[in-house]
Structure 1
Amino acid sequence: MSASVPAFDPSAHLPGDLLDRIRSRAAVHDRENTFPEDDLADLRDAGYLAIMVPTSLGGAGLGLAEASVLQQRLAGAAPATALAINMHLVWTGVAQVLAERGIDDLRFVQEDAAAGELFAFGISEAGNDLVLFGSTTDASPRPDGGYAFTGTKIFTSLAPVWTRLGLHGLDTTSSDAPQMVYAFVSREEADAGRIVTRDDWDTLGMRGTQSRTTELHGAVAAADRVVRRIAPGPNPDPLVFGIFSVFEVLLASVYTGIARRALDLAVETAGRRRSQRTGAAYSQDPDIRWRIAEMALAYDAIVPQIAAIAADVDAGADHGTRWFSLLAGLKHRAVVSAKAIVDQAMLVAGGSGYFSGSELQRLYRDVLAGLYHPSDPESAHSTVATAWLGPLEQ
């Protein structure tokens, strides 16, 4: 008889007292528009930056499915902290996806994460709806095999604190140009003045992420930190799949964590509020019960979807050309469902949820950010339509 595998215990990586501390700070960082430095310190001390790093390299050896559960749990305490940490976990997750396919190109990411380095995600660019398939950033080859990047990245979460920045750019001058170049630069490039972080993050929600604009002025990635040169456009390269799959699953996880917190708050509020007309708790009101049931029905549908897709990524399942529509659809459904759940929670709470000191009011603002992450609603629908109907006729 084979030995049984111990059940995954989320509290071993995110214990309740840690979540309580993180939750207690979330409103302050939202109000003051500051990065949650103490949250990061606590998570680093808990080994959270290395949850997806193999145990052989000093990490926890968790897969994407387990990291997803943890990110839902963290987002329920502090959505902005979870979303910011997402970007670091994306790169460690991509390294894991590649390693499981026998590709060791991002081993240095795993080693650095285990050593406490913090990775940020420098992909988004204003007006670039090609996302991974194109870039407005110039990637200029250097004689030593490295690249110098010049351009502007937006929504760079962890902006004040990252130590490594994964980014992409377009090489238009090499003999085989154009080529998309994926590489990593270090914080030392900022110290040398080749990376400038604007202090421009003043937003409706997700304020603690401090996802500021990043200017690249010839920021240099050493040759051993250039991890891909691939043709622009849709590409089956495992790096592209790794980025898209881990990014979409972890985004869906964060917004589903927000949905769960809103549902819990709605249940708590319904039990606490009492009708002046009947004297009964709102939990006995048929309309309130219907709203909470609607929330639970939506929430219960998303959690197993995330778990199934994440498990398929971990297992290396072959969905062929369907992969991108499955992932884009997952993220889209999770965000739309989360927003609908928070909307219902606001109605259950009544007027108290409209005040700026309300946690629900903060969740209401935070959940809106999900609409702007790739894949946005237009891109998701286009991707799914192509999967089912084929490409548009030219």
Structure 2
Amino acid sequence: MNIHASASATDLGARMRRVAAIAAVHADDVDAAGRFPSEAVSALRAERLLGSHIPTGLGGDGASVGDIAELCAILGQACASSAMIFAMHQIKVSSLITHGEEASWHRSFMERIAGEQLLLASATTEGGIGGNLRNSICAVEVSAGTCLLEKNATVISYAEMADAILVTSRAHVDAAASDQVMTVFLKDQYTLEKTHDWDTLGMRGTRSDGFVFRGEAPAEQILPKPFAEIAAQSMLAYSHILWSAVWYGISADAFARAQAFVRAAARRAPDMAPPGALRLAEASSLLQGVKASVVAALDRYEAARTDEDKLSSMSFAVAMNNLKIASSQTILTIINHCMLICGILGYKNGTPFSLGRHLRDAHSAQLMISNDRILGNTSTMLLVHKQDTSLLG
């Protein structure tokens, strides 16, 4: 998936493949223990990939969104939890780059991310609103240049391991639920009181526990643009593209295992079509479809990223929503095909063809953010927006 690559794309890929090799060794233990993938994140820091998307003028690699998607796919083939952590971190970085680069504090913070390889987390969900990130109950209070915030965050992925958390809230105590801002809080500026433990079917290493977040920081750490703009112009596209790249990586590794199984069967009986060969061909077609959808979304984002009106348009939102729905559903079909091809060796843990972790991790895709919520938003937009039916539109 090498699309819109920067000049350093080859180097970035080599660095991520070294990380992926380490992540793969520990992936089963991360999943079984439900623990943070510390080895993979340490490797990301050692390879200086946490700052890969930061502009070169601020100490990063200046990687494009296409580069980052490729890195997510590479790591997703080794350990889905590690890849999702990397993707979520880069989504937060994208918001800083897109909406904070002109603010001196946020420019300095991006230099720190690249220089110190800081890991960013996000607190957008909240008790009482669920996964509706475009509404908040809590409100930031600003007084004498200091902001205070308390939030009942039902999920903050890898919160205890992060170096900073970007938190959404209402802009002030009298603001409407949708009048939101996002604030950066550094690790020494907040406390976390755990309320929920992350014991889940899949994506266990993301450690997405629930917390009451309490923070106090200088008011300059509030991003200068309203969260409505951040959500529409960076988070929407980055979330759906990078998540889809992770899911593509999971299904690509499942496909590779199934292909190895079919090839082994063909070597044992060279005069017979191996069982599962036709199903493998079908899985290949589906996998190519997911890749094509991600590449098309990257094309669309690159064409729109300098035009705020395009980024905020209904047509763009519908396209990004459709990417998320399609990729999150299709990867389950692909991995199920691969499970049927590998049979009991795919069903069992501890074999070269084991696919249980892949299947469980993939089931998270339809829940982040709920497909039903996204379909509801899309259906509302389609009441007033005409579907684009051109091939080149």
TM-score (structure 1 length as normaliser): 0.85
Q: Decide whether aligned partners of structure 1 residues 281 and 162 sit closer, same or farther in structure 2, where only a CA change above 3 A counts.
A: farther
Q: Deviations over 1:87-112 (max 9, x none)?
A: 21111122233379x78884344223
Match of 1:327 among 312, 320, 325: 320
Partner of 2:252: 260
Amino acid at match of 2:203: M
Deviation at 1:309, TM superposition (A): 1.7
5 Å-filtered alignment, 1:285-364, equals 285=274, 288-315=276-303, 316=305, 318=310, 320-358=313-351, 359-364=354-359
In structure 2, runs of 5+ residues without a counterpart are: 1-5, 386-393
Partner of 1:64: 65
Deviation at 1:56, TM superposition (A): 1.3
Range that drifts further, 110-119 or 24-33 = 110-119
2:154/2:196 contact within 8 Å kept: no
Amino acid at match of 2:262: A
Partner of 1:48: 49
Deviation at 1:10, TM superposition (A): 6.1
2:13/2:71 contact within 8 Å kept: no
Instruction: Say yes or no: does 1:250 pair with 2:242.
Output: yes
1:68/1:249 contact within 8 Å kept: yes
Q: Deviations over 1:287-312 (max 9, x none)?
A: 61221112111111121221232243
Instruction: Say yes or no: does 1:220 pair with 2:209.
Output: no
Match of 1:387 among 378, 381, 384: 381
Amino acid at match of 2:280: I
1:135/1:168 contact within 8 Å kept: yes
Q: Decide whether aligned partners of structure 1 residues 75 and 163 sit closer, same or farther in structure 2, where only a CA change above 3 A counts.
A: same
Task: Look up the SS of the partner of 2:62 in the other structure.
Answer: coil
Task: Look up the SS of the partner of 2:199 in the other structure.
Answer: coil
Range that drifts further, 314-323 or 39-48 = 314-323
2:169/2:180 contact within 8 Å kept: yes
2:36/2:207 contact within 8 Å kept: yes
Task: Look up the SS of the partner of 2:50 in the other structure.
Answer: helix
Q: Decide whether aligned partners of structure 1 residues 363 and 296 sit closer, same or farther in structure 2, where only a CA change above 3 A counts.
A: same
Deviation at 1:123, TM superposition (A): 0.7
2:279/2:337 contact within 8 Å kept: yes
5 Å-filtered alignment, 1:125-140, equals 125-126=126-127, 128=129, 131-136=132-137, 138-140=138-140
Deviation at 1:267, TM superposition (A): 0.2
1:92/1:109 contact within 8 Å kept: no
Q: Decide whether aligned partners of structure 1 residues 323 and 388 sit closer, same or farther in structure 2, where only a CA change above 3 A counts.
A: same
Q: For the residues of structure 2 that align with 1:365 and 1:283, how far apart are their CA atoms? A: 33
Deviation at 1:126, TM superposition (A): 4.3
Instruction: Say yes or no: does 1:88 pair with 2:94.
Output: no
Deviation at 1:181, TM superposition (A): 2.6
Q: Decide whether aligned partners of structure 1 residues 120 and 15 sit closer, same or farther in structure 2, where only a CA change above 3 A counts.
A: closer
Task: Look up the SS of the partner of 1:160 in the other structure.
Answer: helix
Partner of 1:166: 166
1:158/1:211 contact within 8 Å kept: yes
Task: Look up the SS of the partner of 2:276 in the other structure.
Answer: helix
Match of 2:367 among 366, 372, 390: 372
Partner of 1:147: 147
Q: For the residues of structure 2 that align with 1:134 and 1:7, how far apart are their CA atoms? A: 39
Deviation at 1:238, TM superposition (A): 4.2
Task: Look up the SS of the partner of 2:197 in the other structure.
Answer: coil
1:159/1:197 contact within 8 Å kept: no
Amino acid at match of 2:181: V
Task: Look up the SS of the partner of 1:284 in the other structure.
Answer: coil
Deviation at 1:131, TM superposition (A): 2.3
2:73/2:248 contact within 8 Å kept: yes
Q: Decide whether aligned partners of structure 1 residues 8 and 238 sit closer, same or farther in structure 2, where only a CA change above 3 A counts.
A: same
Match of 1:284 among 265, 273, 278: 273
Q: For the residues of structure 2 that align with 1:244 and 1:282, how far apart are their CA atoms? A: 51
Q: For the residues of structure 1 that align with 2:145 and 2:272, how far apart are their CA atoms? A: 65
How many residue pairs match? The answer is 371
Deviation at 1:32, TM superposition (A): 1.6
Amino acid at match of 1:95: L
Deviation at 1:66, TM superposition (A): 1.1
Task: Look up the SS of the partner of 1:14 in the other structure.
Answer: helix
Q: For the residues of structure 2 that align with 1:298 and 1:78, how far apart are their CA atoms? A: 21
Amino acid at match of 1:210: R
Amino acid at match of 1:156: I
Q: For the residues of structure 1 that align with 2:172 and 2:8, how far apart are their CA atoms? A: 50
Q: For the residues of structure 1 that align with 2:36 and 2:8, how far apart are their CA atoms? A: 34
Q: For the residues of structure 1 that align with 2:131 and 2:23, how far apart are their CA atoms? A: 36
